[in-house]
Amino acid sequence: MLHFTFEEVAQSTIPSLLVERVKKTPKDIAFYFKDLGIYKGVTWERYWKEVEDFAYGLLELGLKPGDRVAIMGDPCPEWMYADLAAMSLRAIDYGVYTTSSIEEIEYLMKTGGARFFIAENQEYVDKILMIAERLSGLSKIIVIDTKATFMYKNPRLMSFSEVQRLGQQRKVRFPQELMHLVQQASPHEIALLIFTSGTAGPPKPAALTHHNILVGHIWADHEIFHSVLTHKHKTVSHLSMAHIFERGFTIYFPIIEDVIPHFGESIEHLQETIYEVQPTMFVGVPRIWEKFAAQATVSIGMSTWIKKIAYGLAMKIARQYLEVRWRHKNPPLLWRLLHRISVQIAMGHLLHRLGFSKLKFGISGGAPLPVATQTLWNTWGIDLINILGASEAGLISSERPGFEKPGTVGKPPPTAKIRLAEDGEIMVSGSGVFRGYWNNEKTTQEVLKDGWLFLGDVGEYTEDGRLKLIDRKRDIMITSGGKNITPTLIETALKESPYISEAILIADGKKFPSALIEIDFETVSEWARREKVLYTGFTSLSTHPQTYELIAKEVERINQQFARVEQVKKFRILPKELDPEEGDTTATRKIKRKRMDEMFHNLIEEMYTDTR
């Protein structure tokens, strides 16, 4: 159910819209969180009380409009309270990825200029304390979970509950102070900073206004998904809220739609949380969808012969059914019945084990989604929708619900316009386009020209007008023979294998394409146990000759999709897992190509000198 009109959304700030939602449905459940094994519901009335107490506490500590607040931690209720409290005070907040290294945290703190740092637990307190003396502008470190920090004596430290107690006392003295600040705010004020992933340099803080978020992100999502949002939906919050993708769907989207987030006790137990909640709507990056699909595929391979036969027959029926739908034909009644029966009998148990037996649709964004992965979920009866968005531009383009044919990112919502430059670079204008990079006018002018954002991605249109992504403009490679190679297309195809977690293509200036491959430890170790391959850990498994043979077969199979010049001629398996905290990847686990070249220079050179 939609709770606000477009005009109400477009003319509001996020806190003012929250206040109105509380007035409309004070006793409705806003979200659930798991505590000591039990899911507890929080009403909208209670939600606002928590936000209000924390906001008044920040006022008591001296927070002023325009100040910055940094938040570091996994998704939890307090993350939302802190975010909305800062916004209500007309401050500007930003998230710090939990996978950030000490050096990255220092950069983010200095670039954003945060006066307050909110840490979920001891792990992040320890990290900020290592650099706190170099952060002259840092006033307070506020800790949500203090179980392991009760002996800490640093004068900057305070607990989240202490701040809320201060807030309760201040509210008695100044009962209208917070509402005055909420009412004074403009939709076109900067609400938050979102740091870009930093694949080709330091992360850049994109400054987003309330209008950018509410219209370019949240209303755009409503325009795309309204046909399937006809009743209350359950979701599971699990991605980093430092990114607008998760924050939008967990905090802001539920203000206007009946979507109820659920928080598990730990991100490490995501599979358990999904199984318990059985969400009807699930938002994830391609890596998550790939991982779940890989686990399911491997488990099918280990099942009994009769189950394999039943699954194979069901998949054949489901694929043919989808092919008919993709040709814009209405499948005959018999096919519809066969498809429904096959999904329920052969795939129902599989989806139930994953926690997706009640899933109506899924959303994938944040990176390219492999066609094979999306097709597989579609075949299993899950309407997995591929979207394109950017921190600087909101929702840019999306498939619509209804099992669209995989391979594109659909068409733009009414809130965005798209053009392709002469070289194919995607240009975007609309309500979601940001104000610019925080304190960086030069870089802003490089990407924002006459109201059009140059996205850096190259795309093309299909015959029916849907947008298809080619690659990042800067990543397109040219071999020594002068052939253009789009690495992301090949890397994404390689990651369709359940045994490959990450792939980095090497081709620029080389005689032929090669690849560095990180194995999926979970699925490869399962294969190793089945095949009685002995190993002691990640390195011994990744360097085992039989593992090389396994990956070689996968590479050979996937190569068949490409022209000879694009096929991976050689590969090497990485001897270690890529770790964002060590700077191997970005905090969002995106590949830094320059870093890969430096880290694995010898492996790369070996592929162009060795005979294997």
> Rounded mean pLDDT of 154-181?
97
Q: What percent of the chain has pLDDT over 90?
A: 76
pLDDT for res 443 = 93
What the chain holds in terms of domains, given with CATH numbers, is: 6-263 (3.40.50.12780), 281-357+359-472 (3.40.50.12780), 476-607 (3.30.300.30)
DSSP-assigned letters across all residues of 143-168: ES--TTTTT---TTEEEHHHHHHHHH
pLDDT at 46: 98
What's the confidence (pLDDT) of residue 367?
84
| Band (360; pLDDT cuts 50, 70, 90) | very high
Percent of the chain having pLDDT more than 70?
Answer: 99
Query: Nearest CA to 110 among 193, 32, 184, 53?
Result: 193
- Residues 6 or more apart whose Cβ sits within 8 Å of residue 297: 376, 498
CB 118 within 8 A of CB 63: no
pLDDT at 231: 87
Q: Please say whether the beta carbons of 125 and 154 come within 8 A.
A: no
At residue 368, the pLDDT reads: 85
Q: Confidence band (pLDDT; 50, 70, 90) for 50?
A: very high
What confidence category does residue 32 fall into, taking pLDDT thresholds of 50, 70 and 90?
A: very high
Instruction: Give the tens place of pLDDT for each residue, 283-302.
Output: 999 989 999 998 888 888 77
pLDDT value at 476 more than 90: no
Sign of the CA dihedral with 103 first, then 104, 105, and 111 last:
positive
Chain mean pLDDT for the chain: 93
Q: What is the 3 state secondary structure string of 269-299?
A: HHHHHHHHHCCCEEEECHHHHHHHHHHHHHH
pLDDT above 70 (res 236): yes
If one compares 95 and 611, the residue with the highest pLDDT of the two is: 95
Structure confidence at residue 533 (pLDDT): 93
* Least confident among 448-462, 477-491, 539-553: 477-491
* pLDDT at site 429: 97
Q: Residue 111's pLDDT is what?
A: 96
How close are the terminal C-alpha atoms of the chain, in Å?
Answer: 60
Segment 305-326 mean pLDDT: 87
pLDDT range class, residue 279, cuts 50, 70, 90: very high
Are 274 and 266 spatial neighbours (Cβ–Cβ below 8 Å)? no
Using one digit for the tens of pLDDT, what is the confidence trace for 193-204?
Answer: 999 887 777 899
Distance (Å) of CA 601 to CA 507, 519, 594: 13, 19, 10
Cα separation of 598 and 592, whole Å? 10
38-43 and 500-506 as β-strands: parallel, antiparallel, unpaired? unpaired
542 pLDDT higher than 90: yes
> 553 to each of 25, 402, 504, 604, how far by Cα in Å?
56, 35, 18, 20
For residue 612, the model assigns a pLDDT of 62
pLDDT, position 13: 98
DSSP letter for 243, please.
S
Length of the chain, please? 612
User: Closest by alpha carbon to 212, among 428, 30, 68, 399?
Assistant: 428
Residue 118, pLDDT score: 98
Q: Which residue has the tokens 């939302």?
A: 80
| 606 confidence band (pLDDT: 50, 70, 90) | very high
Q: What pLDDT is recorded for position 611?
A: 64
One-letter amino acid of 358: K
Alpha-carbon gap, residue 26 to 33, rounded angstroms = 18
Dihedral sign of CA atoms 206, 207, 210, 212 in order: negative
Contacts of 435 (CB under 8 A, 6+ apart): 190, 207, 208, 209, 212
Quick: pLDDT tens for 107-148.
999 999 999 999 999 999 999 999 999 999 999 999 999 999
pLDDT by residue (tens digit) across 325-339? 888 777 788 878 888
